[in-house]
Structures are given as C-alpha cells and as structure tokens.
Amino acid sequence: MSTIKTQTPGPEDNPVAPDAPMPTGLDHGLRGLIRENLFKDAKNSILTIVFGLILGYVLYRASIFVFFNEKVTPDGGMRNSWDIISSQLIRYMVGTQFDGTNIGYPMLWAAIYTIAFTLGFASGRLPGDTSPPMTTRTKLGIIAPPVLAMAVILSFTDTITPTLLVIGLAVPFFLGQRIPALLPESVLHRRTLIMTGLVLLAFLLETGFNPGNVDNFGGLLLTVNVAFISIAACFPLGVILALTRRSSFPLLRPVAVLYIELIRGVPLITLLFMGEFALRFFFPSTFEPPASVIRAIIMFTLFSAAYVAEIVRGGLQSVPGGQTEAGQAVGLSPVTITRKIVLPQALRNSIPALVGQFIALLKDTTLLIIISQFDLLGVSDPILASPEFQNQGYAPEVYAFVAFIFWVMCFSMSRASQRLETKLGVGTR
C-alpha cells in the first residue's frame, strides 16, 4: 500500500521580499483601521481630505469664538464677549424677580440638595437586584454632560461659594444611593411615594411654602420647574387616558377619544393663551385663580397627556393577546391582568417614544415668553435690549449659552433613557 507524503510548508513557499518591513501591531490596528475606512481608494481619500479640512476650519472658528472672542465697547475699548453671561448669570439662573421674594437663596439651595438626595435615592440599587451594574462608560455618559454644564456655569461666577455648594451636592446624592440597601422591604414598596414626597418638599422649599411664588421664577429655574412638573403630571394622566380609550365602558371611552383628538388638534400656543386669559373664567368670582405659571403648567400637562396617551396606546397594542388570555386562564381579574401583565410590558415598549415626547415638552417651555414668563430663552431678550449690551453683537454668545444648557438637559434625558432601555431589555425578547 502506497503512502502519501505531506510536506510542511517552509519559508520558501511564502517568499517575502528581503527589504519588506515586518508588519507591526500598529499597522494592523490604528493604521489599518484608518487606511481601511478613510483612505481605501481615491474617492474615499478625497472625501476624507475635504471633510477633514471643513471640520478643521469649523473647530478653528469655534475655538476662536469660545476662547478668544472680544467685542469693541462704545467707548472704544475691548471687552470679553462672554461678559454678558457672567454679569447676567443670576438672571439666567433664577430670573429678575427672585430677589424680590421672601424665599432667599438658602431655601433654594435646600431644595436643590433635596433633589440631589432624591436622584440618589432613585438610582440606588435595591436588595436582591440581579441586573448588571452600570459600566464605567455608561456612568460617564450619564454624569459627564451635567458635570460639564455645571463647570461651564461655575466658570462665569465671581466667588468660590457656588462652586463649593455644587461640589457638596455629591454628599446627599451618594447618601441617597446607600439608603435603599438599608431600608426594610416594606418601606421599599413605597419607594415611589417616598420620592414623590421628596419632590413635593423640594418644590415647597423653593417657593417658600407658598406655591404662588412660582410666578417670580425665571430663567433656568422656571424652565426646569415647568418642564419636570408637567412631565411628572402628564405621564399618569396619559396612561389613564390610554387605558380608558381601550376600555369597553360606553361612557368613558368616547370622552377619552374626544379629549385626545381635541387636544391633539389644537396648537400649544392656543392652550397657553387660554390658560392665561380664559381659564380664570371657569373659577368662581370668590375663588382666586392659580398663579400664571401654575396655569401654564396645567396647559402643558393637558397638552402632553394627549400625546402620551397615544404613545402608551401603541405600547398596549404591541403586547400579544396571548398575555391577556394566559392571565385569564389562571383566574386573574381584568384589573390585575392590566396592572401586572399588560401595562408593564406596554410601558417598557413605549420608553423611547415617551422620552422623545418629554424632551419635546422640555423644549416647548420656550413658548412661555408669549405669556410674559421669562424662561431660560425668554430672559435673553431683555438682557440684549438693555443699554449695556444693545446693538453690540452679543446675540451669538447668548443663544450659544442657552442652546448649550438645553442640549445638556436633553442629552442627559436621552442617556438616562438608553440606560433604562438596556436595563429593561427594550427591543429584546
């Protein structure tokens, strides 16, 4: 029987030019990645060079705008362009009328510290939580934008006190994160109720235990209050409307349908005008109507609840009918099936659309200026119109600062949403 001889390939089978350099890890790594994605052929190389030049020019102009921008003053001198932000920072943060109230900044900082504790309490890990902890990259993605925003804002301050107070926010935040692990399970079942109470306490602190003082808010303080109070109020209302629209009650279902379709067909500006000028006619003459900002919050809530209801209704329709049938097979009541089986899955599927609606609501707060409430954007107009800055070209700096603050808030909400989607497994089966 003949045998087949095999020969191990030797160096002569793969000749290498003696002058060719040996490939290194860098060639296969960074250099190879750049060559493969940016300079693969002539077309890619030209596009890379062109867009690289455009990007370089944009970065060059942006660096000049941020770090080396100066304005000519009326007397012929030079002034840093960002002085308009540093000199008017209080107005951007709390408005022009906050100093005239009896609230005081200690009460405001007490409210901020309460919110920091609440955020820590909400993000703390519960006993028995088996979900994987956040990676360092995820933590940086959530924490970095707010920290960057606070660093930018603090760079415009003249004293070290605000910086120390902001750094001190880490204490209640990390303390709040540790609390859930120490509480008994009977208390943790009321976690949502506890957080609601803490947020209500913060609101009472910042208003000096007089909600009518909210009319004296302005700037970022007004924007944050209107946006997040409206978000907290419209979500449960929207869920109730969605469930009512899908119910079989002959009286409630048409009412929910009429409300949703009516509100969605009316511009938000119209509702704000109605809240400012027409809502007071629905109250008795002996009853003092709510403050103007409270009426605006009511209109924002009613408007957004209609859209939240449609988003949640879409989530309810995405839940397979077999889930309800399985609940009925084990003898669960319709309310229990909805509360423990259908609604949690529907809300999980609706998270991306819900957060998108909440981000839109945050940006819609800029419409407060039409009812003479000066939010973060609205306060810019009287500042630019003041004799000190009028017709001197400060608008780019002002609107860049406002846009940056809005971007940080919206991006932070988006990152928190992505973390929640990952934790709940949105998009996976």
Burial 410-426 (b: 16+ CB within 10 A, else e): bbbbbbebbbebeebee
Closest among 303, 124, 159 to 227, alpha carbons compared: 303
Distances from the Cα of 356 to the Cαs of 197, 359, 368, in angstroms?
Answer: 26, 5, 20
Q: Following CA atoms 219, 220, 225, 228 in sequence, which dihedral angle do they give, to the nearest 10 degrees? A: 140
Q: What is the mean pLDDT of residues 45-57?
A: 94
Taking a C-beta distance cutoff of 8 angstroms, is the pair 168, 117 a contact? no
CA distance 392 to 389: 6
pLDDT digits (tens, 9 = 90+) for 274-330: 999 888 787 777 788 888 999 999 999 999 999 999 999 999 999 998 988 999 999
Highest mean pLDDT among 19-23, 125-129, 264-268: 264-268
89-93, 151-155, 244-248, 400-404, range with the lowest pLDDT: 244-248
Which residue has better confidence, 120 or 424? 120
Phi and psi angles of residue 126, each rounded to the nearest 5 degrees, phi first: -80, 155
Residue type present at position 90: I
For the chain, domain boundaries: 36-68, 80-424
**CATH code for 80-424?**
1.10.3720.10
- Please spell the DSSP secondary structure of 10-59, one letter per residue: -GGGS---TTSPPP-HHIIIIIHHHHHHTSSSHHHHHHHHHHHHHHHHHH
Give strand pairing partners of 219. Answer: 375
Alpha-helical runs (H) found in 155-264: 161-167, 170-178, 185-188, 191-206, 219-246, 252-264
CA distance 256 to 258: 5
Burial 339-371 (b: 16+ CB within 10 A, else e): eebbbebbbbbbbbbbbebbbebbebbebbeeb
pLDDT value for 286: 79
Taking a C-beta distance cutoff of 8 angstroms, is the pair 133, 399 a contact? no
pLDDT digits (tens, 9 = 90+) for 356-382: 999 999 999 999 999 999 999 999 999
Phi-psi region of 219 (alpha: psi -120 to 50; beta: other; left: phi over 0): left
